[in-house]
Amino acid sequence: MMGRSPAAGEWYEIVLGRQLGRRTAALFPGLELSEIPGEGMRLRGIFADQAALHGVLARIRDLGIPLLEVRRLPPDEYPVQA
């Protein structure tokens, strides 16, 4: 089964230039976080709208975390939901 439909929001992937500690990672509830060995951190999640996405990007900026990439995931890359 595929992830949520686009009507529920859009899936995005955000790549950060450093890994996050446990306390900092807790500031991004609802997002899937995975380490990129030697590079940083990948955050994936569904955003209801552009305002929600920009809210997370503002938090990243305010924390001084290097932002490497932001991209909307095409439907064939949506995470599989159990």
**Tens of pLDDT, residues 62-73:** 999 999 999 999
Longest dimension (CA), the chain: 37
Confidence of residue 9 (pLDDT cuts 50, 70, 90): confident
Tokens describing residue 70 = 């932001």
What is the phi/psi pair of residue 46, to 5°? -100, 135
Residue 41, domain CATH: 3.30.70
**Res 77: pLDDT:** 79
Does a structural domain hold residue 2? no
The total number of structural domains that make up the chain: 1
pTM for the predicted model, two decimal places:
0.83
43, pLDDT greater than 70: yes
Closest listed residue to residue 40, CA positions, set 11, 72, 22, 67 = 67
What is the phi/psi pair of residue 63, to 5°? -85, -5
Tokens describing residue 3 = 């992830």
What is the per-residue pLDDT across 13-39, written as a single tens digit (0 to 9) for each? 999 999 999 999 999 999 999 999 988
Does a structural domain hold residue 45? yes
